[in-house]
Structure 1
Amino acid sequence: MRRSTFFALAFALTPLAASAEPPPPSPAPAQASTPSAVRAPAPASALATEGFTFLGEEKGIRIHSRDKRSGVEFATEARLPAPPDQVRRALLDYASHQKWQEGLEENKILAREADSMLVYQRLDLPIIDDRDFTLKITWGAEGQILWMRFGVANERGPKPVSGVVRVTSHGGGWRLEPEGDKGTRAVYRFHFDPAGSVPSWLGKDQAKDKLVDFFVRLKRELPKYR
């Protein structure tokens, strides 16, 4: 198995489905099912007031966590060297994600519309059983701020597979705000409950390194989407 952890992929770029648990911290109502009803995730300035704790900064990437629910919950701030529309194109290119994301055993786009898509993913994990889920991703804009949100929509994806644990709680979002002429202030927030039995060291203890690595990989991909 690849040496990856479940939160290394939990960034999975997807928006909130009508049936999904609201992603952390969600300013939109859980029943929202249309883009017009969904709002961009709150800005980074709101993290402390929402109970997030600052873990540290590395390579310009600031990582926060919150102990409020089972599983892991993180918020990450970073400046990306590309405008918001370019960053979002990279995040929405699910067809290419296996080329640069660790641990993606399967990655299938099931359906796509103008402002949403369904994606099935299976994670190849060390030590523990593989995990899988179907996500509904949505995206939109509020003025110059672009956003993405994601949440579990397993009822719209493949049936459970023997030997693979089905994840039922996974949601989050991206807030992409212009910074300068060619930069983006990105805030990425997510909650991921791997379900089943998971050693504690596979979760929060490795979060900082894995999230930093994800942003480093994302930055390397951005020039392809100019």
Structure 2
Amino acid sequence: MEAGASWPEEQFRAACAQLDQPAADGAGWQLLGQAGGIAIHRRPHQHLRLFEYKVFGSLTDCPPELCADVYMDLDYRKQWDEYVKELHEKEYDGKKIVYWEVKYPFPISNRDYVYVRERRDLVVNGQKVSVILAKSVSVPQCPEKSGIVRVKGYKQSLAIRGDGKKGCKVYMYYFDNPGGQIPSWLINWAAKNGVPNFLRDLQRACKGYCRKS
């Protein structure tokens, strides 16, 4: 997909609606695992021999506005996400593009992403919901690097809403095509543990962000 494309309003609203469906809504989704208030579902991708994922969770003591701010803060993420090798946002032709290199265990090659993202804060049924959408793009200023596999087809939706207490409810949709030859054990580990662990790390990072600000 070319850089600069944005999302229609209904895609943000659709992500909001998922917060009221903590069990995946049929259509081939199956529960993969759950622990610590976080449940992950998956289903086969329509066109590729890969899976797409939905995650539902609650993050206690993490206010929704703070959670969204921490998620958007790329410089801070480099401090708390141990898998970040390189992460920055630059402007090309008037559009902000994110470059992200992810560490993989030896001897697997690192992966990198080039993507655009957008955050909108909506009011739904009297409640504020922060929604962040992201998708991979192709820009000539970010060519593929030798020894690093470029991830293509990356899509993510994140919706965050208060839980009525001091925390937040989170919904995340996630898909990417990692390319190359990745062992099945690593794919299974990432599916069952990677995203839930990321959300728990995000929760801890929110507490650190409070002390920082």
Relative to the length of structure 1, the TM-score reads 0.76
Is the 8 Å Cα contact of residues 32 and 38 (structure 1) preserved in structure 2? no
**For 1:192 and 1:99, how far apart are their aligned partners in 2?**
24
For residue 134 of structure 1, the aligned residue among 114, 129, 136 is 114
Structure 1 stretch 188-197 or stretch 44-53: which is displaced more? Answer: 44-53
Q: 1:43 matched to which residue of 2?
A: 18
Identity of aligned residues (%): 24
Change (3 A) 1:37 1:200: same
| Pairing 1:193–2:177 present | yes
Equivalence for 2:42: 65
Greater Cα offset, 129-138 or 37-46: 37-46
Report how many aligned residue pairs link the two structures.
Answer: 196
Task: Assess if the C-alpha contact under 8 Å between 1:118 and 1:136 holds in 2.
Answer: yes
Runs (5+) with no aligned partner, structure 2: none
TM-score, normalised by the number of residues in structure 2: 0.80
* Secondary structure of the structure 2 residue equivalent to 1:48: coil
8 Å contact from structure 1 (residues 72, 203) kept in 2: no
Paired letter, 1:110: K
Cross-structure match for 1:28: none
What's the offset of the Cα at 1:166?
Answer: 1.4
In structure 2, what is the equivalent of residue 86 of structure 1? 66
Compared CA separation, residues 94 and 204, structure 1 to 2 (3 A): same
* Higher Cα Rg, which structure: 2
Structure 2 residue identity aligned to 1:50 = A
Paired residues of 1:106 and 1:121 also in contact (CA < 8 A):
yes
CA distance in 1, matches of 2:136, 2:32: 27
1:33 aligns with 2:3: no
Residues 52/37 of structure 1: CA separation in 2 closer, same or farther (3 Å cut): closer
Q: In the aligned structure 1, how far is the partner of 2:7 from the partner of 2:192?
A: 33
- 1:110 paired residue among 90, 101, 111: 90
Q: CA RMSD in A?
A: 2.5
> What corresponds to 1:4 in structure 2?
none
The offset of 1:174, in angstroms, is: 0.5
Q: What CA distance in whole angstroms lies between the structure 2 residues aligned with 1:38 and 1:48?
A: 17
Q: Deviations over 1:94-116 (max 9, x none)?
A: 1121222132111112139xxx8
Distance 1:158 1:206, change over 3 A: closer
Distance 1:35 1:83, change over 3 A: farther
- 1:54 corresponds to which letter in structure 2? L
Q: What is the CA–CA distance in structure 1 between the aligned matches of 2:141 and 2:72, rounded to whole Å?
A: 18
The secondary structure found in structure 1 opposite 2:170 is strand
What corresponds to 1:100 in structure 2?
80
- Give the corresponding residue for 1:125: 104
Instruction: Specify the alignment match of 1:74 in structure 2.
Output: 53
* Structure 2 match to 1:173: 157
What residue number does 1:208 align with? 192
Shift of 1:136: 0.5
User: Take 2:104 and 2:170, find their aligned partners in 1: how far apart are those partners?
Assistant: 27
In structure 2, how many angstroms separate the alpha carbons of the residues matched to 1:97 and 1:156? 26
Deviations 1:84-131 (A, max 9, x none): 21110010011121222132111112139xxx8421011221232121
* 2:31 counterpart residue number: 54
